[in-house]
Amino acid sequence: MIVGNKKTLDSKEIIFYLDLSTDFLKKKILIKSIKSFIDGNDKSNKCTYGFVIFKKGKEVFSVYDKEPSFIFERIEDIWEEKEEGISYFENGLYETLAHIFKRSRTYPKIYRIIVISDTPSTQSEDYHTALYNLVLKAKNFHTFIDIIRIGEDKFYEDDVKLKVITSETFGGTLYCNDSKQFPNYLNSLIRSKSEFNLIQSESSKILENEHTFYDKLATDLITLSPDDKNECILCEQKVCPICEAYSDEVHKCYNCNSPYHSCCATEYSIVNNIGLPYIFRCPKCSAILKLDKDFVDMVLEEKSETDKEEIEEDQILEGLIIKESEEDSEQDIPKIVQKKVKVGGFFGKEITINANSTKNRNNKPSENKNSVSITALKPPRSRKSIILCSICGATVKDSLICPVCGSTIN
């Protein structure tokens, strides 16, 4: 599975890259160790195997996607022809990653590379930089790399390079200085990588300088053949329900012939892309497909403008609701109008009263437009309490002595 695809992968390929150019690890121990690893590997997964090795003269030999027995036969055949005294570490990983990229175009898997190396790489820094850039892309195809460095030395000049590569792909770097212990080191890698998050909730960010790589990896939708079904796999209709135009012709996936309307494929790709909105995996066969970038950008721009207008409308509506609520609140609160009157005639004492509480000219009390329940008024309760004498039961008010029996009230 590639970035952004939320489909669980149920198959795996384990590739052994034998970067061996000395006799430190004998063929018998190597084959026995790999057999033990395969026997202990999780057999519930659909797992195939491959291996890569360099023959004399920098000639690479590789086999992929095979059963274990085939791998053992090829190791037996090629062992005496392996390179001696020099490591092609970067080149071997170039070869392996190229296979993964090519295979992932149509059939995504979990890929696990186990490098067994006995000689430090002496390639230039440019080689490592190029490899590192490929490794960053490889982890988007669920590729894990583990490295076992075998040899008697405690430190190697390429230690940092190895650890950078494995850490970027959630793998590990192990050091084995005793060939007899090699089976234990290899078996320690049996632990499944399923503990890592193989289903990503959102697309990983693809850097701008990597766009060309993914663009070339993807394939355009192609024209239908006369015998192909003219019904979009996404909307299951002949006429696109989004644009409702007969001009939106159906095109198909080159790998499985699944047909798509341009609009339907664009809507799907925007949500289910690999990290670039115009590149997606076919939901039927998982092939990497691409759409016209300018068309997808136009749709995204229209969506952005629509979302912006909807947000503005929501803000305006919210403002109106708040304003109306404030006006209603002001209407609900009665205005207190004060009035000065004289008590006892013209020369009497002047006092201030609330005009709201006075009767109107028809001698009728002013009424509130909204009727209020009496229970909502919550009138204050009297603080005076009635106590019963605990001896005779007589009612006692405002006294500490019972008026009937004379007992003290507690």
Average pLDDT over residues 217-241: 89
Angle, alpha carbons 105-48-15 (nearest 5°): 80
pLDDT band at 247 (very low <50, low <70, confident <90, very high): confident
Quote the tokens at residue 206: 């693809």
Calpha distance 5→109 (Å, rounded): 12
Angle, alpha carbons 111-116-122 (nearest 5°): 110
- What percentage of the chain has pLDDT greater than the value 70? 68
Average pLDDT over residues 296-309: 82
pLDDT at residue 227 in the model: 86
Domains of the chain with bracketed CATH: 11-195 (3.40.50.410), 211-295 (3.30.40)
Q: How many CB atoms lie within 10 A of CB 277?
A: 19
pLDDT for 36 beyond 50: yes
Q: What is the CA radius of gyration of the chain?
A: 41
Q: In Å, how far from its chain's centre is CA 125?
A: 34
What is the 8-class DSSP label of residue 164?
H
pLDDT band at 207 (very low <50, low <70, confident <90, very high): confident
pLDDT for 201 beyond 60: no
pLDDT band at 310 (very low <50, low <70, confident <90, very high): low
Most confident of 3-7, 16-20, 337-341: 16-20
What is the 8-class DSSP label of residue 82?
B
CB-based contacts of 284, cutoff 8 Å, min separation 6: 233, 253, 256, 258
pLDDT at residue 19 in the model: 95
Average pLDDT over residues 120-142: 88
Calpha distance 72→114 (Å, rounded): 16
Q: How many CB atoms lie within 10 A of CB 376?
A: 6
Phi, psi of 136 (to 5 degrees): -60, -35
At 316-366, the pLDDT tens digits run 666 666 666 655 555 555 555 555 554 444 445 566 655 554 444 444 444
Reported as type and span, the H/E element at residue 226 is none
More confident residue, 382 or 139: 139
pLDDT at residue 396 in the model: 63
At 61-87, the pLDDT tens digits run 999 999 999 999 999 999 999 999 899
Query: Going along 56-133, which residue ranges are E strands?
Result: 59-66, 110-117
